Chains A and B, each alone.
Chain A
Amino acid sequence: ELKVEQNPLFLSMQEGKNYTIYCNYSTTSDRLYWYRQDPGKSLESLFVLLSNGAVKQEGRLMASLDTKARLSTLHITAAVHDLSATYFCAVDIDNDMRFGAGTRLTVKP
């Protein structure tokens, strides 16, 4: 069974600091997605990573994928308050999308 594990589950950061969220998964896949969810809201797609070594950046967020290690990272650079949200990684195996537990990020001034 495909398992997707994220850590940390809770992350409290100071503004301006850097940090990395990790996503490990148990079965071979080359389709990994990162989503953002604000409290009480739906999921917003951030990144689609489709090959080993893929790296994508949008603003202060950068995501990477290592399919051999079955690991994706979401790196936050110089965090700002607006980045406070829950971040989910998800792995797709034949249209069966499994989500990690989510990382609840709080950025403090």
Chain B
Amino acid sequence: EPEVTQTPSHQVTQMGQEVILRCVPISNHLYFYWYRQILGQKVEFLVSFYNNEISEKSEIFDDQFSVERPDGSNFTLKIRSTKLEDSAMYFCASGPGGVNEQYFGPGTRLTVT
């Protein structure tokens, strides 16, 4: 069964450094999403992406965040200058769109020291 994959599974970085989190969505899906979950807390929407552009973003998704679909398969989240409070699990999701559910990847645990 097709699934969303994410790399790396765990990323440790120093404050102020740039990180890129990678995702490979399910191949025939058209909508892509990033969420984050601070340990033990709820899942927070960051951004949705469709047709090579951002369709919605939350208040969390400020100028230090960017997303890109550099080729036909990858979907990336870049954090330009990481802060301690960016430490969280980042989930990528994809979906066919419309009313269908989203399928979540296994997540990347980002630790900022």
A98-B91 in contact given A33-B101, A42-B106 (Cβ < 8 Å)? no
- Enumerate B10-59 residues with CB–CB distance to A below 8 Å: 31, 33, 35, 41-45, 48, 50, 55-56, 58
Asked if residues B102 and A45 are in contact (CB atoms below 8 Å), the reply is yes
**Interface residue total, chain B, C-beta cutoff 8 A:** 24
Asked if residues A97 and B102 are in contact (CB atoms below 8 Å), the reply is yes
Minimum Cβ distance to chain A for residue B1 (Å): 12
Asked if residues A95 and B91 are in contact (CB atoms below 8 Å), the reply is no
Interface string of B85-103 (1 = CB under 8 A from A): 0000001000001011111
Interface string of A66-109 (1 = CB under 8 A from B): 00000000000000000000001010001111111110000000
Asked if residues A43 and B43 are in contact (CB atoms below 8 Å), the reply is yes
A85→B110 CA distance, assembly (Å): 23
Minimum Cβ distance to chain B for residue A12 (Å): 17
A23→B104 CA distance, assembly (Å): 21
A1→B101 CA distance, assembly (Å): 22
Minimum Cβ distance to chain B for residue A37 (Å): 8
Cβ–Cβ < 8 Å partners of A50 in chain B:
99
A42→B41 CA distance, assembly (Å): 13
Minimum Cβ distance to chain B for residue A41 (Å): 8
Cβ–Cβ < 8 Å partners of A35 in chain B:
104
Nearest 7 A/B pairs, CB to CB: A99-B43, A95-B48, A96-B56, A43-B104, A45-B101, A101-B42, A42-B104
Chain A residues within CB distance 8 Å of chain B: 31, 33, 35, 41-45, 48, 50, 88, 90, 94-102
